[in-house]
Structure 1
Amino acid sequence: MILETAAKFAPIATALIALVASCIALSAIRAQRDIARRRAAIDFFLKTEMDDTVVKLYKRFKQLSPTIKELLAKPDLTNTQEYHDIRAFLNICELIAVGINEGAFSERVSLAYWGDVLPMSYRDAEPLIKQIRSTPGEGTALTYADLEKLCKKWTTKEVPTGITRIECPPMA
């Protein structure tokens, strides 16, 4: 009698076990995906910090950003080294924003590390970005669109504490 009752519930028990197993598998896949995104973000940011060219572009951008309005008045703006240096740094920022917006990079890790740099860079370069978008051959309405979208989203968030960006003194 007990075996007959158990036999009636066997298909239900099998289905429940399969459901639990699939939930565990799905959870493991999501955890691995999240770990991969965090690793990708950290790996990319570590490489940018180790790359002298990127570090120099960041420093050059910080140096040039207060002068963007004056640069916009130049008739030959697109032929200047300043313009190309700013664009090169903004392109890196856009690449990071695309990675975050498309889910290749962990947004949490990226916000903790670049949460101050990306919005500041976008804000400082916004007049230039608008000009680039309106200049045929230089850009379109979608130029730096991912950077803009991300920065608008991040300006409403509080940047996590715990990471302090400091300027290291130049090596002697």
Structure 2
Amino acid sequence: MDFTDPNNFPWLIPSVSTIMTGLIAFAIAYQAIYSNRDIARKKNSIDTILHAKNDGKLRNAITVTGQIHNNADKTIKSFAYESKKFTKGASEFRYCLNFYEYISVGIRHGIYDEIVMKESMCGTVTRVYERCKPFIQTLRLQNQAPTAYCEFERLAE
């Protein structure tokens, strides 16, 4: 049998073309799925950024965090203790930290686009983290919860 003669393998051309068509269709489908996931991640990010900008409670929490941070008579650390758990400052810290923990977990799991979120929120995230760091550390010691706000910490650092 002459393997160089194409007449000996009439089934080969349709089989190869079918395989090639399948591979091309797979590549196109894979690219479309990947592209749609990327667009969804970016859309989720933009929606969350817009929500954060319009969330009066979050803006107030960030403001209170800054006011207490800049107040020589108060320390953010003191608000982590059980006796101050339900005070105005502690509620704002927790609201703010919970929001950014949620964002951080979403970034880690691919729900949000990290680049979009960092470009929009980097300054606020790092500033809030630096201000709330003593609160987080004390909270972890008080509750024996070493993982409290660890995703937020990882994102900020």
Shorter-chain TM band: 0.7 to 0.9
User: CA-atom RMSD, angstroms?
Assistant: 2.3
Flag the 1:36–1:3 CA change in 2: closer, same or farther, 3 A.
farther
- Whole-angstrom CA distance in 1 between matches of 2:90 and 2:64: 11
1:122 corresponding residue in structure 2 = 129
1:108 corresponding residue in structure 2 = 115
Q: CA deviation at 1:3?
A: 6.9
On the 8 A contact 1:71/1:77 being kept in 2, the answer is no
- Whole-angstrom CA distance in 1 between matches of 2:155 and 2:75: 27
Identity over aligned residues, as a percent? 25
Alignment partner of 2:63 out of 56, 59, 65: 59
What amino acid does structure 1 have at the position aligned with 2:125? L
Alignment of 1:8-87 (within 5 A): 8-67=12-71, 70-73=75-78, 76-87=83-94
- Whole-angstrom CA distance in 1 between matches of 2:12 and 2:78: 83
Q: CA deviation at 1:80?
A: 2.6
- Whole-angstrom CA distance in 1 between matches of 2:121 and 2:89: 23
Q: Larger helix proportion, structure 1 or 2? A: 2
2:149 corresponding residue in structure 1 = 144
Structure 2: stretches of 5+ with no match in the other structure = none
Higher relative contact order (CA 8 A, sep 6+): 2
> Structure 1 residues 139-148 or 100-109, which shifts more?
139-148
- Whole-angstrom CA distance in 2 between matches of 1:51 and 1:70: 25
- Whole-angstrom CA distance in 1 between matches of 2:26 and 2:71: 57
How many residues end up aligned between the 2 structures? Answer: 150
Flag the 1:67–1:96 CA change in 2: closer, same or farther, 3 A.
farther
CA deviation string 1:46-97 (max 9, x = no partner): 1121122222222222222334972435773334321221111111111111
- Whole-angstrom CA distance in 2 between matches of 1:30 and 1:50: 30
Flag the 1:151–1:73 CA change in 2: closer, same or farther, 3 A.
closer
CA deviation string 1:10-39 (max 9, x = no partner): 212211211111011111101000100111
Alignment of 1:79-98 (within 5 A): 79-98=86-105
> In structure 2, the residue corresponding to 1:115 is in which secondary structure?
helix
